[in-house]
Amino acid sequence: MNTRKIIKIMAFILLLGILFGFYYLYVRLPVINGYAAKNMCSCVFVAGREQKEIEAKDLNFSFIKYVSNTIDYQNKTVTSSFLGMRSQKAFYNEKTGCYLVTTGKPFDLTALNITPPKPEAISSLFADFDNLEPLPKKVNQNKLKAAIDNHFTEVEGENPKNTRAIVVLYGNLLIAEQYAEGFDKNTKQLGWSMAKSIMNTLVGILIKKGEIELHKTTGIEKWQNDNRKNITWNQLLQMNSGLEWEENYGSISDVTKMLYTEDDSYGFAIDHQLEGEIGKDWKYSSGTSNILSGLIRKQLADDAAYLNFANKELFNWIGAESMVLETDPSGTIVGSSYAWATPRDWAKYGLLYLKNGKVADQQIFPDWWTEYTASPAEGSEGKYGAQFWKQNDEEYPNVPKDMYFADGFQGQRIFIIPSKNIVVVRFGLANKGDISYDQLLKEIIEAIE
């Protein structure tokens, strides 16, 4: 083969590589741009942070770091695009946060009377943590501080664990809290999949009110002509419904399409078919949590009742004034991913489970609900309960077996340890393996004992 033919073949292969690379990127741009627009919008208008810092920290990875973000502060929108291609636009509503609009028109919230959380029914158990009481003598403050400081220690000017907040409750006492530079007790932070745990709570409240039954089927109309009609609320909560789902954030998958290219998360999720045995085959699925959210919507009288439900029946009772549950454009709360609150208010949410759902003389959800929540789901190898994760000896060998936790992307956590009367909240940006949560909890427990 002569040199000219070799050059032509190499040029052809190079051209194919360039075309493939362009196609690979182009089809992913709605997800890339959507992620940037949605998160920039929420970080700016919900959390009150600055664009430069958000781009340097929250959006500084993969192709997302090359996206251009334009913020319209007057109209409260963010438009994001990669080299001007396939831009995505996020809109802010002061009552329900930010949402992407990818097709059609968004749900009209203007006519709805949505009341933000107000602590009208709060008991002293969930009182303002600024009214600090003396720490119990059994708390070793030096050991506790050392355990937490380790997660904020800088190496060459950087915090390798990327921790933004840690809050520790011993019973209803705030015994420790610490924040990274640029964050404080008033900064709302995104819980990501900790929103799934809130869906657990709202279902529990509806069961307490007698509106639904745990082991009854969902009644979803689209499911009535096939075996999906046999799926129960319990199986959705425990994520062993058998529904097909791909939870892959690094590709075009069911979860990335739902969050960044679809306007109706509930409608998208219920269109999925069965691929496993109902009640047996476990699969982690953000779609399942949005099915729960949509079902909660259908149980309530109207959209105003739905969008006020969490505030009125949950956040008011625990004094979590900062909580924001964001919706998709169809008006469904994105129960898989988008809940914002200060770390203190997230701690109050954990405290509700530590206290078995009791606030003053009010039982928010059934008194058996926490035991159910922390019971292992069939097929999960003992690692999952009902929209909460469970202690397992592989990841948490030094933590009591009754520990269970809300878990969010990039290391957001609410750990509840009933036997130790402890709640630990952690926020930040961490990849899998960056942090030993087992070690953190072990050191905190030892500091209290």
Q: How confident is residue 179, by pLDDT bands cut at 50, 70 and 90? A: very high
Judge whether residue 157 has pLDDT over 70: no
**What confidence score (pLDDT) does residue 2 get?**
73
> pLDDT exceeding 90 applies to what percent of the chain?
75
Widest CA span in the chain: 89
Separation between Cα atoms, residue 364 and residue 367, nearest integer Å: 9
Q: How confident is residue 385, by pLDDT bands cut at 50, 70 and 90? A: very high
The answer for residues whose C-beta is within 8 angstroms of residue 211's C-beta and 6 or more apart is: 299
Q: Which amino acid makes up residue 414?
A: I
Helix (H) or strand (E) holding 256: helix 254-260
Helix pair 194-208, 303-310: axis angle to 10 deg: 110
Separation between Cα atoms, residue 384 and residue 380, nearest integer Å: 6
- Provide the residue ranges of all domains of the chain, joining segments of one domain with +: 3-93, 162-448
**What confidence score (pLDDT) does residue 3 get?**
78
CATH of domain 162-448: 3.40.710.10
Question: Environment class of residue 101 by beta-carbon count within 10 Å: exposed (0-12), middle (13-18) or buried (19+)?
Answer: middle
Separation between Cα atoms, residue 318 and residue 145, nearest integer Å: 27
Separation between Cα atoms, residue 96 and residue 195, nearest integer Å: 14
Q: Name the least confident of 92-96, 156-160, 203-207.
A: 156-160
Say how many Å lie between the first and final Cα of the chain, rounded.
77
**Dihedral angle, C-alpha 9, 14, 18, 21, nearest 10 °:** 100
Answering whether pTM is above 0.85, one says yes
**What confidence score (pLDDT) does residue 88 get?**
94
Comparison of pLDDT for 340 and 26, the residue scoring more: 340
Report the SS3 class of residue 186. Answer: coil
CB neighbour burial string for 197-213, b if at least 16 within 10 angstroms, e if fewer: bbbbbbbbbbbbeeebe
> DSSP readout, 109-168?
-TTS--PPP--SS--GGG--TTSPPPPPTT--HHHHHHHHHTTT--BTTB-TT-EEEEEE
Q: What would the pLDDT profile of 67-125 be if each residue is shown by its tens digit?
A: 999 999 999 999 999 988 989 999 999 889 999 988 767 777 777 888 877 766 566 66
Q: Name the least confident of 45-49, 172-176, 310-314.
A: 172-176
Q: Do residues 290 and 275 touch, judged by C-beta distance below 8 A?
A: no
Q: Name the least confident of 29-33, 121-125, 246-250.
A: 121-125
CB neighbour burial string for 257-286, b if at least 16 within 10 angstroms, e if fewer: bbbbbbbbbbbbbbebebeeebbebbbbbb
Q: What would the pLDDT profile of 390-445 be if each residue is shown by its tens digit?
A: 999 999 999 999 999 999 999 999 999 999 999 999 999 988 778 899 999 999 99
**What confidence score (pLDDT) does residue 45 get?**
98
The answer for residues whose C-beta is within 8 angstroms of residue 189's C-beta and 6 or more apart is: 47, 164, 165, 183, 340, 341, 342, 343, 346, 412, 427
Separation between Cα atoms, residue 265 and residue 329, nearest integer Å: 9
Q: How confident is residue 15, by pLDDT bands cut at 50, 70 and 90? A: low
Q: How confident is residue 127, by pLDDT bands cut at 50, 70 and 90? A: low
Phi, psi of 217 (to 5 degrees): -70, 160
Q: Name the least confident of 156-160, 378-382, 401-405, 417-421.
A: 156-160
Judge whether residue 144 has pLDDT over 90: yes
| pLDDT average, residue stretch 136-150 | 90
Separation between Cα atoms, residue 376 and residue 279, nearest integer Å: 12
Separation between Cα atoms, residue 382 and residue 1, nearest integer Å: 61
**What confidence score (pLDDT) does residue 23 get?**
57
Mean residue pLDDT across the chain: 91
| pLDDT average, residue stretch 15-33 | 74
| pLDDT average, residue stretch 294-317 | 95
Q: What would the pLDDT profile of 256-299 be if each residue is shown by its tens digit?
A: 999 999 999 999 999 999 999 999 999 999 999 999 999 999 99
> pLDDT exceeding 70 applies to what percent of the chain?
92
Residue located via tokens 């982690």 = 284
Q: Do residues 377 and 369 touch, judged by C-beta distance below 8 A?
A: no
